[in-house]
Amino acid sequence: MALDSTALNSLGFAKAPSETRVVVAMSGGVDSSVVAAELAAEGYDVVGITLQLYDHGAALAKKGACCAGQDIHDARRVAERMGFPHYVLDYESRFRDSVIGDFADAYLAGATPVPCIRCNERVKFRDLLETARDLEADCMATGHYIRREVGAAGPELHVAADPARDQSYFLFSTTPEQLSYLRFPLGGLASKAETRALAGKHGLPIADKPDSQDICFVPNGNYAAVIEKLRPGAADPGEIVHADGRVLGAHRGVIHYTVGQRRGLGIGGLSEPLYVVRLDVDRREVVVGPKEMLATRRVPVAEINWLGEGALDDGPREISVKVRSTRPPREATLRPLSPATAEVELLSPEEGVSPGQACVFYDTGTTRVLGGGWIVAG
């Protein structure tokens, strides 16, 4: 788990582990539990913190999502077993304002948001990180699968050793200042099996706990129901319109659709398969068309967090990008328009690029993450 082999301890500090305080963000899952247990076993002054992000009572019966009531209980059991203090912080109002509200508004604007990125950006790596500083911790560690390496110009962000577990897409907005304080001990592990083996070694009760699947505040993946509850009237009906202007049917609300969707459109009987190619919120129209209309090469990006050498607007760069978490990186040209905006030109077209998704930048030929931004409407 060493992050800097030249340093005195495995977290990169020139002092004994027992003199190094580290706050571990504990979700109650296997990954963060192993980080806390390993660091405690190495002799670090570990403080575990779990965030209560939404109604505790409603969360108790919720399976398959992070930070629910059972997860808080599981994190506490790990802390008790390993003998370090554990605290639960009520971040419900911050989470509602910074993440859930943004999620609902983005959907209402026809975008496809990624709330886990906003949670890292606005809650875990901002508010929780400040709490860690208040506790006089030397650093904060998480269970994310990503690597922090110290380069010539300071800490760098690199993809995880296990490509199947890499979480760089969700962490592109980590700032250089945050990166100097954060540690990601699992980033160098070869597989999730290795993580579970470490959990077994420490006798952790969550060694076989399944990975979380859902967004924590969206039960059963039903985004539309959550948005309707948060924003009454959000599911106003409208028309499904072909890109050539033909009205093909009616829909139950734009929030039920995403760019690239084919199934569930309710417009069967046509001679060609049709996909959602655009959402026109103002006109309450779901615009559909043939698959080739989904392909795009030019991607406008805003709110860019730059982690590369020099300044973003130094000039065009040849890089690789991910426009969805499940897609492999594609070669592209990054053309800055300002210190925080740019146009990305993909060398080969990509389908289903949607406003609200992240566009993450990688250094072609290496493992370094160069930052990224949010895809906006062109």
Asked, for residue 225, whether it belongs to a domain, the answer is no
Q: Which two tokens stand for residue 295?
A: 């392909």
Helices within the chain (DSSP H only) = 30-41, 56-59, 69-82, 92-95, 101-108, 115-119, 129-134, 176-181, 192-201, 223-230
Low-confidence ranges of the chain (pLDDT < 70): 1-7, 55-68, 213-214, 219, 269
pLDDT in tens, 285-329: 999 999 999 999 999 999 999 999 999 999 999 999 999 888 899
Asked, for residue 6, whether it belongs to a domain, the answer is no
How far apart (Å, rounded) are the C-alpha atoms in residues 94 and 187? Answer: 28
Q: Which two tokens stand for residue 337?
A: 């328009």
Asked, for residue 11, whether it belongs to a domain, the answer is no
Q: Which of 220, 252, 275 is the last residue of a domain?
A: 220
SS3 assignment, position 148: strand
Question: Which CATH number is 269's domain given?
Answer: 2.30.30.280
pLDDT value of residue 67: 52
Nearest alpha-carbon partner for 214 in 34, 33, 355, 71: 71
Domain limits for position 268: 235-289
Cα 129 to the center of its chain, rounded Å: 17
pLDDT in tens, 38-60: 999 999 999 999 998 876 444 44
Burial 244-269 (b: 16+ CB within 10 A, else e): eeeebeebebbbbbbbbbeeebeeee
Residues 284 and 299 in one domain: no
Given the residues 66, 67, 116, 119, the one annotated as active site? 119
Residues 117 and 212 in one domain: yes
Asked, for residue 326, whether it belongs to a domain, the answer is yes
How far apart (Å, rounded) are the C-alpha atoms in residues 115 and 341? Answer: 21
Nearest alpha-carbon partner for 307 in 134, 118, 153: 153
pLDDT value of residue 202: 95
Please, what is the Cα angle at 42 between 38 and 45, to 5 degrees? 95
Asked, for residue 228, whether it belongs to a domain, the answer is no
Between the alpha carbon of residue 8 and those of residues 36, 178, 181, 296, the distances in Å are 20, 22, 17, 49
Residue 210 identity (one-letter amino acid): P
Asked, for residue 322, whether it belongs to a domain, the answer is yes
Question: Which CATH number is 357's domain given?
Answer: 2.40.30.10
Residues 107 and 206 in one domain: yes
Given the residues 66, 139, 216, 359, the one annotated as active site? 216
Q: Which long-range contacts (CB under 8 A, 24 or more apart) does 2-9 make?
A: 3/148, 3/149, 3/150, 3/183, 3/184, 3/185, 4/150, 9/44
Residues 270 and 354 in one domain: no
Residues 285 and 310 in one domain: no
pLDDT value of residue 30: 95
- 119 catalytic residue (yes or no): yes
pLDDT in tens, 148-180: 999 988 999 999 999 999 999 999 999 999 999
Q: Which of 268, 289, 310 is the last residue of a domain?
A: 289
Residues 300 and 284 in one domain: no
The residue written with tokens 């963060």 in the block is 32
Asked, for residue 226, whether it belongs to a domain, the answer is no
Domains in the chain, number = 3
pLDDT value of residue 7: 53
Residues 189 and 332 in one domain: no
Eight-state DSSP code of residue 367: S
Residues 280 and 311 in one domain: no
Question: Which CATH number is 67's domain given?
Answer: 3.40.50.620
Q: Which of 244, 263, 289 is the last residue of a domain?
A: 289
Residues 347 and 365 in one domain: yes
How far apart (Å, rounded) are the C-alpha atoms in residues 266 and 46? Answer: 54
Residues 273 and 202 in one domain: no
Residues 54 and 191 in one domain: yes
pLDDT value of residue 247: 93
- 359 catalytic residue (yes or no): no
Residues 279 and 311 in one domain: no
Asked, for residue 244, whether it belongs to a domain, the answer is yes
